[in-house]
Amino acid sequence: MNKSDRANIIIDALNEAYPETPIPLDHKDIYTLLIAVLLSAQCTDKRVNEVTPELFAMASDPFAMTKLSVESIYEIIKPCGLGPKKSKAISNLSHTLVYEYDQKVPESFEALEQLPGVGHKTASVVMSQGFGHPAFPVDTHIHRLAHRWGLSNGKNVQKTEKDLKNIFPESDWSRLHLQIIYWGREHCQARACYGLECYICKSCYPRRKTPVKHKRG
């Protein structure tokens, strides 16, 4: 079975399991989505959704956020982890949006990645889920499953993203990003399946007997 065959199996299974792909991070606009995605680094979406209501009640736009001290932002978001770094990034990127972008989140990868605390993955999520542009953000779930499913042998998320973009049609990227995350959380977790048990793993590799060792992202 080649990659194209496996890709077709994966698309069919994911479309059946997740015909709808709601954005898992609660937000009301692109700015609050950006902040939520930034907070989600090394943190669960559930925890982010528990923290952001209080933060957004105090400041749900860049100008209001600039009026909060870094310390007060930190006190709210510290359950998400990396609190000192994230609170500074939220404050600094909000100042940048106010003084350089008239409070509007820029609609380009280049500009987003220049914002404090915003890397390629965060920019990709915002471009995809916020602006509707094709993007394939790769998180730890996607990086792990791409290896288990024989779609990439990349040792980092950059290589995995490139491989996935070469395999799947551009029109499917944004939907697949969410579908693969959902599948990884529900059916093919890091400390379960190991490439041997879930429907997709068994369908793509019916003769596999050895657990898949993950390449770090």
Q: Which residues are catalytic?
A: 121, 139
Name the nearest CA neighbour of 145 among 76, 192, 102. 192
What is the distance between the alpha carbons of residues 154 and 41, in angstroms, rounded to a whole number? Answer: 21
In sequence order, which ranges of 101-128 are alpha helices (DSSP H)? 109-114, 120-125
Q: Do 14 and 180 contact (CB within 8 A), yes or no?
A: yes
User: Which residues, other chains included, contact 109 with Cβ-Cβ below 8 Å and sequence gap of 6+?
Assistant: 120, 123, 124, 127
Under a CB-based contact definition with an 8 Å cutoff, are residues 69 and 95 in contact?
Answer: no
Per 3-state DSSP, the chain is made up of helix, strand and coil in percentages (nearest 5) of 60, 0, 40
**CA–CA distance, 35 with 15 (Å, rounded to integer):** 29
CB 113 within 8 A of CB 37: no
The 3-state secondary structure of 90-103 reads HHHHHHHHHHHCCC
